[in-house]
Amino acid sequence: MVNYIIRRILQSIPQLFLISLVLFLLMQAFGDPIASLGVRTPPKPADRERLRRQLGLDQPVYVQYVVWLAGNDWMKIDMDGDGVPETPGKRLGVLRGDFGNSLINKRPVSELVTERLPNTLLLMGVVEIVIIVFSLAFGVYSAVRQYSLFDNLFTGFSFIGYAMPIPLLALLLMYLFSINFKEWGLPYLPTVGMFDPQVGRTPGQIALHMILPVVSLSIISIAGYSRYVRSSMLEVLGLDYIRTARAKGLQKHIVVIRHALRNATLPFVTLIGLDIPFLLAGAVLTETIFAWPGTGRLFVTSISQSDFPVLMGILMMTGLAVVFFQLVTDIAYSFLDPRIRIA
């Protein structure tokens, strides 16, 4: 097991380098970050050239990538255009945990991300728990009660829920449970923010503001994941060892939970392993619609402002999480299914 983990970590190093290179090249084709620095007043041509030299944007792409990756304490550039190279502001580079400073806020990228990350983890952690619990519950019950009234109704609703775009679903929930409920004189749910500024950041306020975002994100995933659980359960329930367990006189719930569910959850574990890393990036659309102050909303704001250091910081964090949680998923297989051995 230890050798397998070490080997996978070593394999992930070139993967992360490749991911960083592709992302960096995509950012180069995204636009000109200097254009966003003037806000309403575009910078003058002379100022643009000076800023490009100071930020190192006049260097070749491969030099910019090496500086972003390994820092700039090894180079000198002509920042003021007088023909004399100067040492730029010291940057340690991504390899030493320095993602640079935001072009807009002038603050370290790591500081901006860590401010928003707890809010995203709180929201997405609750979403993931809701998805896992209800997907397993609905999927297993539909498989055990195959072709029952519940199974047929839930199948129909799951197709509808899976086909609903998140923005449309979020707006419908806001219109019903906030606007309409308020007009009808019923208790209504808040639609924006993390808490009411007049009340303060209390657990009750945070829980109340989380209801609509959690429901919006959960419905689509539950509709899709529960179908995977149902299909896997039906396949496992028809295997010989399940019939043998039933023939021995074991109770039905023991057969389903202890013997069938463990093997039926392997595809589900794969889906969750792929889904968890994106908790760090946040649900971009949902956080934007509900004005939730997380990394997803920060990502959208950075795109509109062409704030490339922040974009690269969030994307690299997501890429690292994908590699890590794929390793965790592979290890989890060996515990769920004894037939799988990691050598």
**For residue 107, which of 343, 302, 266, 293 has the smallest C-alpha distance?**
302
Fold of the 109-336 domain: MetI-like fold (1.10.3720)
Tens-digit pLDDT profile for residues 265-308 = 877 888 888 777 766 666 788 888 999 999 989 998 888 888 88
Q: Tell me if 215 sits within 8 A of 154, measured CB to CB.
A: no
Query: What is the number of alpha carbons within 13 Å of residue 72 lying toward its C-beta?
Result: 21
Q: DSSP assignment, residue 293?
A: -
Does residue 79 have a pLDDT over 60? no
Minimum mean pLDDT range among 22-36, 101-115, 158-172: 22-36
User: What is the domain partition of the chain in residue ranges?
Assistant: 33-98, 109-336
Number of residues in the chain: 343
Enter the tokens of residue 35: 């254009």
> What band does 322 get if pLDDT is binned at 50, 70 and 90?
confident
Q: Say which residue, 45 or 212, is predicted with more confidence.
A: 212
Rg (the chain; Cα; Å)? 25
Residue 170's Cβ-count burial label (10 Å; 0-12, 13-18, 19+) is buried
Residue 77 pLDDT exceeds 60: no
Q: What secondary structure does DSSP assign to 65-133, as a single string? A: HHHHHH-STT--B-SSSSS--BPPPP---GGGT---B-TTT-SBHHHHHHHHHHHHHHHHHHHHHHHHH
The Cα-based distances of 193 to 11, 115, 181, 200, 297 in angstroms read 41, 15, 19, 12, 11
In angstroms, rounded to a whole number, what is the distance separating the alpha carbons of residues 85 and 87? 7
The whole-model pTM stands at: 0.83
Whether the Cβ atoms of residue 155 and residue 142 lie closer than 8 Å to each other: yes
pLDDT, position 337: 66
Contact 233, 140 (CB under 8 A): yes
Q: How many CA atoms lie within 13 A of 21 on its CB side?
A: 9
pLDDT in tens, 197-231: 888 889 999 999 999 999 998 998 899 899 989 99
Average pLDDT over every residue of 148-177:
90
pLDDT at 33 over 60: yes
| DSSP-assigned beta bridge partners for residue 86 | 77
Helices (H), the chain: 2-28, 45-55, 61-70, 109-144, 149-163, 166-174, 181-183, 203-237, 240-247, 252-254, 261-264, 266-275, 278-281, 284-289, 295-305, 308-336
Question: Is pLDDT of 24 > 80?
Answer: yes
Band of pLDDT at residue 339, cut at 50, 70 and 90? low
Tens digits of residue pLDDT in 228-270: 899 989 988 888 888 888 888 888 878 888 878 877 887 788 8
Q: Of 270, 309, 278, nearest to 295 (Cα)?
A: 278
Mean pLDDT of the chain: 83
Any bridge partners for residue 108, and if so which?
101
* Residues 6+ away with beta carbon under 8 Å from 124: 217, 279, 282, 283
Q: Are 98 and 70 in contact (CB under 8 A)?
A: no
